[in-house]
Amino acid sequence: MHRCHDGSYKLLFSHPRPVIDLLQGFVVEQWVKQLRFDTLERVSNSFVADSLSTRECDIVWRLRGGDAEWTYIYVMLEFQSTVDRWMALRVMTYVGLLYQELVKQRTIIKLSGGSARVLPAIVPIVLYSGDRPWSSVRDVADLIAPLSNGLAAYTPSLRYLLLEQNVLANQPQRANNLASAIFRLEHPQSAAEIAEIIGRLAEELDGESQRSLRRAFEVWINRVVLPRYLPAPASEMTESLYSLEELNVMAATREEFRWPVEYYQEGIRDGVQKGLEQGLEQGRRQSQIECAEQLIRQTAMHDSMIAGVSGLAAQEVALLRAKIAH
């Protein structure tokens, strides 16, 4: 599932619109305001090292900035559904390989008023979609043992920008922002919200010019989002895909969509109320555990969603999942 999830994100963010919406809507940094989004273009994400081995990052885009000195800025997107302790090291490797490729291609900036030649800026962004809070360091320097006696000057430093989907999904819905729609569909509050978002996508991605991007959303929702509510074999997934219009109707009418998101919320609220009335704290606790265990066994819901439904902490849900797996 992790591989399918990451692959679907590569498909979605291979289109300009979600990348623009991601940068404009969720990267709150000054340099973003200077970007010329009409110059956005995809570049190769495959690098051949001097050893002739091939390495590949997820996606690389480039675009011009408002400052003529910039020429181009490169945005490197990495998609993670699990925490990787060595992510900063991976990012440093990919950035170094991209710079080597730019040197080979003679993509060099000549500073005005001088003969100095420099490389363009690269901004590595890690978009994390997992349930557990991101715990890995964001600068490769923090992976290296502290050095003294003047050796600290030789410690490399490269930082990546982390975007945690769990955090972004809790922000207010941004109108007409496709990145926001993706994050909200990953963490919906109700079946009605799922139907509303898919309905807006169907309207937003209408027309021949949107066909490729619409297809990417249909693949992602069919292959990643839908199985969380209609697990195999009940979902009977085939090679054919439901259209956005069909998915909208399903989310609005099929009971399977309401059950994971709403029914257990109602059941737990009733259970908690009875427990409080009877003073049976232990019974309430047991019902929360049973609810979480049932959701783990019968659905593909994220730990964070199960925690919200059952009332348990996300860490407790993760421990239950590990216990069930063994």
* pLDDT computed for residue 293 by the predictor: 83
At 37, give phi and psi (nearest 5°): -70, -15
**DSSP characters for 4-19?**
HHHHHHHHHTTSHHHH
| Spatial contact of 174 and 204, defined as CB atoms under 8 Å apart | no
Beta bridge partners of 80: 128
* pLDDT computed for residue 115 by the predictor: 60
Q: How far is CA 180 from CA 55, 129, 165, in A?
A: 30, 13, 10
**Sign (positive or negative) of CA dihedral 172, 177, 183, 187:** positive
Token reading at 275: 């427990």
| Angle, CA 1 vertex, CA 13 and CA 15 arms, to 5° | 10
H or E element at residue 124:
strand 121-128
Cis peptide bond upstream of 16, omega within 30:
no
| Spatial contact of 142 and 136, defined as CB atoms under 8 Å apart | no
* pLDDT computed for residue 309 by the predictor: 66
Q: Map out the domains of the chain as residue ranges.
A: 2-167, 188-253, 264-325
Distance of CA 60 to the CA centre of its chain: 16
H or E element at residue 186:
helix 178-186
* pLDDT computed for residue 76 by the predictor: 95
* pLDDT computed for residue 32 by the predictor: 93
Per-residue pLDDT of the chain (326 residues), as tens digits, is: 455 566 788 889 999 999 999 999 999 999 999 899 999 999 877 655 554 455 667 899 999 886 665 678 999 999 998 899 999 999 999 999 999 888 888 777 666 566 667 888 999 999 998 888 899 999 999 999 887 778 888 899 999 999 998 888 877 777 789 999 999 888 887 778 888 999 999 999 998 999 999 999 999 998 888 877 765 544 444 467 888 998 888 888 776 666 555 554 454 445 545 544 554 455 567 777 877 787 777 776 777 777 766 778 888 888 888 888 77
* pLDDT computed for residue 52 by the predictor: 43
* pLDDT computed for residue 29 by the predictor: 92
What is the identity of the amino acid at 182?
A: I
